[in-house]
């Protein structure tokens, strides 16, 4: 079932009380409390699933990746050393998603001929209005980005996270993150073409 994610549902980031709850839940996970894991899943699954869909572009594979990510959180929570729990959890999850994306790329190249991996480009037709056409083109342009850049674009533009927060989660320097974002935007501009009014 597809639903449109409205901007007013955007998660602006954990507040202090939410961060305290996440810390407590992760601490309980370290002690083997399975109900704490259930609560963590409930709190973070929507956001992580959206990122996974953006990175993997397939809801079924995204579900697999997010389930793997939470399993990894459960087994690795002993390594958590007091930083913000949500930051640590999301970092672990993004790493699992990128592993899924890389595995997919390897197998995809092996067993798929080059012509089959190119999706049909969106063409304005009678059944597509202008907005749907632009959305489709943007979706295709985002798909041409690397999985790492897709995460970055999604977190910043879709989830509305500041670059400072993203830099902490992805453990990259501010300069490196700015450069990556600039490169990703340039790639999107190129993929969309000069006629698109987005840039």
Residue nearer to another protein on the CB measure, 4 or 110: 4
Select from 72, 112, 121, 122 the least CA-distant residue to 94.
Answer: 72
Burial of 135 per CB tally in 10 Å (0-12, 13-18, 19+): middle
Residue nearer to another protein on the CB measure, 77 or 101: 77
Q: Of all helices (H) and strands (E), which one includes residue 48?
A: helix 34-56
Q: Which residues bind another protein (CB under 8 A)?
A: 1-7, 10, 12, 37-38, 41-42, 45-46, 49-50, 53, 59, 62-64, 66-68, 70-71, 74-75, 131, 134-135, 138-139, 142, 153-154, 156-158, 160-164, 174, 178, 181-182, 185, 188, 197-199
- Shortest Å, Cβ 199 to another protein: 5
- Shortest Å, Cβ 162 to another protein: 5
CA angle at 155 for the pair 154 and 157, rounded to the nearest 5°: 65
Residue nearer to another protein on the CB measure, 116 or 171: 171
Residue nearer to another protein on the CB measure, 123 or 175: 175
Q: Give the whole-angstrom CA distance, residue 178 versus residue 182.
A: 6
Residue nearer to another protein on the CB measure, 79 or 110: 79
Select from 137, 171, 134 the least CA-distant residue to 151.
Answer: 171
Residue 112: DSSP 8-state:
S
- Shortest Å, Cβ 110 to another protein: 25
Residue nearer to another protein on the CB measure, 62 or 85: 62
- Shortest Å, Cβ 127 to another protein: 16
Q: Give the whole-angstrom CA distance, residue 188 versus residue 156.
A: 14
- Shortest Å, Cβ 108 to another protein: 21
Q: Give the whole-angstrom CA distance, residue 140 versus residue 135.
A: 9
Q: Give the whole-angstrom CA distance, residue 185 versus residue 76.
A: 34
- Shortest Å, Cβ 60 to another protein: 9
């Amino acid at each position: 079932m597809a639903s449109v994610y409205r901007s007013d549902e955007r998660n602006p980031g954990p507040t202090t009380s939410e961060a305290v709850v996440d810390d407590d839940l992760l601490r309980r996970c370290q002690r083997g409390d399975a109900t704490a894991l259930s609560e963590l899943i409930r709190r973070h699954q929507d956001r992580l699933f959206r990122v996974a869909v953006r990175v993997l572009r397939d809801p079924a594979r995204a579900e697999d990746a997010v389930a793997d990510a939470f399993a990894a959180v459960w087994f690795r929570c002993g390594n958590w050393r007091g930083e913000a729990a949500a930051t640590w959890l999301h970092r672990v999850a993004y790493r699992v998603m990128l592993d899924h994306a890389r595995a997919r790329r390897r197998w995809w190249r092996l067993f798929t001929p080059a012509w089959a991996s190119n999706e049909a480009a969106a063409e304005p037709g009678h059944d597509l209005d202008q907005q749907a056409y632009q959305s489709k083109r943007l979706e295709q342009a985002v798909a041409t980005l690397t999985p790492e850049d897709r995460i970055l674009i999604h977190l910043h533009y879709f989830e509305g996270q500041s670059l400072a927060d993203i830099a902490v989660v992805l453990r990259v320097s501010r300069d490196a993150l700015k450069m990556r974002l600039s490169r990703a935007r340039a790639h999107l501009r190129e993929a969309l073409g000069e006629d698109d009014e987005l840039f």
